[in-house]
Amino acid sequence: MIAFLGLGHMGTPMARRLVQAGHQVTVWNRTPHPNPPMPATGAASTTGTPPGTGTEATGPAPGPGVVPGARVAGTAAEAVAGAELVITMLRDPAAVEEVLTSATPRPGSLVVEMSTIGPDAVSRLRSLLPAEVGLVDAPVLGSVQPAADGTLTILAGGSGTDLARCRDVLAVFGTVRELGPLGAGAAMKLAVMSALVPAQVLIAETLAYADTQGVDRAALLDVLAGTPLGPLAGRLRPAVLEGPQETRYALGLAAKDLTLAAHPAQTLAAAARTRLTEAEHAGLATADLTAITTSPTLTPSPTAGTVPTTDATSPALTAAPTSAAPATSPGGDRQGGDRQGGDRQEGAVPNRAGAVKLNPDSVPPPAGAYSHAVRAGDLLFVSGQAALGKNGEVIGEGDIVRQSECVMDYLEHILADQGCTFEDVVTIRTFLTDMADLPGYAAVRRRRITCTPPSSTTVEVPHLFRPGLLIEVEAVATIPPHPHGPTPTT
């Protein structure tokens, strides 16, 4: 029996193909679907009735999250109980680790991890699973329609023995490329996405540039069609000329994939990730990646490219917008109070003691009467950051991983405004409303802070200043010498 964990845009059609191929399948999803499939009585039920016998479900085409013929488990543990093969197709590393930690497969079974989580997470997963449980990493190339058609490319890594055990099952999904030992598939997936995703962002930026030059978008796409970028320009064309398209590869997932692939050598991918993060926080996280072509964050800034001055009161000391990351942070008082409508201090504003109060344009204005950061000598004090949108809405309500990613984005943008990176952070203080969320936050932090960790304090608090917020993080960093040229005068 096969347990399939995760019925999102990709998981649902993949699980359906397994049923159609005659496999016995038990499915489970982290978020129960409003119209879940009924326990199986047909092709892939636990009785093993073969397809085409007249017992399959009939009627209208099933909706998202519905897998006719599959048994539906109430929990992940129930799904994997008795399964010889466990397939995971989940959003990110934290989700995979959480699910497989809470629902450990039985000894002798094989886990096939098909999410995009990267080789480091695959290695961690191997250490979490019992030695008696096999593991193959097999992320896929392709989107929803290829998943339904069985024409995906599967990038598989693992031992020869484990790959042999799942080879026929993986072939149900498409063409299998066996790339080497455990982690090889995950590494290949990130390498491929590090080329494909930034190339699409590049075309979106090119279209925005063309608008400023009076170049017709359709004509530009026609010209690009005859170049090596032709296939990607063709994929973007419907979104450019017709408007939003059905989500096949969510923009937020593309941003997540580039985050996983972060590496000092990946400068173009890092720039693309910033663009995607801007668009994600502008409300396009669940839209198809092609929606990047219509992102309002691609509108050129009137001050973009301006050389910063040495006047400490000049707004040019703030970075040109690198994110529309619409979150407001709680900053000081954690016990509530009126945090709406506070006056924002634009740019870099010194006080009489020479400390410079900073509110960079790369993050939204503060939610109250405080500054996002204060530069005092060679130290940068960053106010607590929380996952709030540009209109004050909570981003990723109930999702510690999404909120943690959002907070790390804001910290990164504020640090970058003063020429800092996470490597310059000397201390971090984290506030969680539930210490049970610590593993999810820790997994995000490990991905984002890859250097030697700074000093750190994590505490549990009854609540943060707005309902739905799960985490707030503040930091102190040392500022590299003259990050913006000569030290601003006061």
Task: Compute the average pLDDT of residues 14-20.
Answer: 96
Three-state secondary-structure class, residue 223: helix
Q: What is the pLDDT of residue 351?
A: 56
Place of tokens 């039985």: 106
Q: What is the pLDDT of residue 58?
A: 37
Q: Which homologous superfamily does the CATH classification assign to the domain defined by 2-182?
A: NAD(P)-binding Rossmann-like Domain (3.40.50.720)
Q: What is the pLDDT of residue 485?
A: 42
The ranges assigned to domains in the chain are 2-182, 189-298, 315-478
Least confident of 74-88, 236-250, 261-275: 261-275
Q: Which CATH number fits domain 315-478: 1.10.287.810, 3.40.50.200, 3.90.226.10, 3.30.1330.40?
A: 3.30.1330.40
d(CA 207, CA 203): 6
The per-residue pLDDT for range 306-360, each reduced to its tens digit, is 333 333 333 322 333 333 333 333 444 433 333 333 333 344 555 555 688 888 8
Three-state secondary-structure class, residue 435: helix
- Percentage of residues of the chain with pLDDT beyond 70: 80
* Type of residue numbered 400: I
Q: Bigger pLDDT: 248 or 337?
A: 248
Q: What is the pLDDT of residue 488?
A: 42
In this model, does residue 230 exceed pLDDT 60? yes
Q: What pTM was estimated for this model as a whole?
A: 0.62
* Helix H or strand E encompassing 163: helix 160-171
Q: Bigger pLDDT: 303 or 466?
A: 466
pLDDT band at residue 298, thresholds of 50, 70 and 90? confident
Q: What is the pLDDT of residue 445?
A: 92
pLDDT band at residue 10, thresholds of 50, 70 and 90? very high
- Sign of the Cα pseudo-torsion (326, 332, 334, 335, in order): negative
Helix 267-279, helix 251-260: angle, nearest 10: 150
CATH topology for 189-298 is: N-(1-d-carboxylethyl)-l-norvaline Dehydrogenase; domain 2 (1.10.1040)
Helix 267-279, helix 184-212: angle, nearest 10: 70
d(CA 349, CA 371): 10
Least confident of 91-95, 255-259, 364-368, 463-467: 364-368
d(CA 349, CA 314): 8
The per-residue pLDDT for range 396-451, each reduced to its tens digit, is 888 898 899 989 989 998 998 888 999 999 999 999 999 989 988 998 999 899 88
d(CA 344, CA 73): 51
Q: What is the pLDDT of residue 153?
A: 97
User: Would the CATH topology of 2-182 be identical to that of 315-478?
Assistant: no
The per-residue pLDDT for range 24-82, each reduced to its tens digit, is 999 999 877 544 444 443 333 333 333 333 333 334 446 667 899 999 999 999 999 99
Q: What is the pLDDT of residue 373?
A: 92
The per-residue pLDDT for range 112-162, each reduced to its tens digit, is 999 999 999 999 999 999 999 999 999 999 989 999 999 999 999 999 999
Q: Bigger pLDDT: 86 or 101?
A: 86
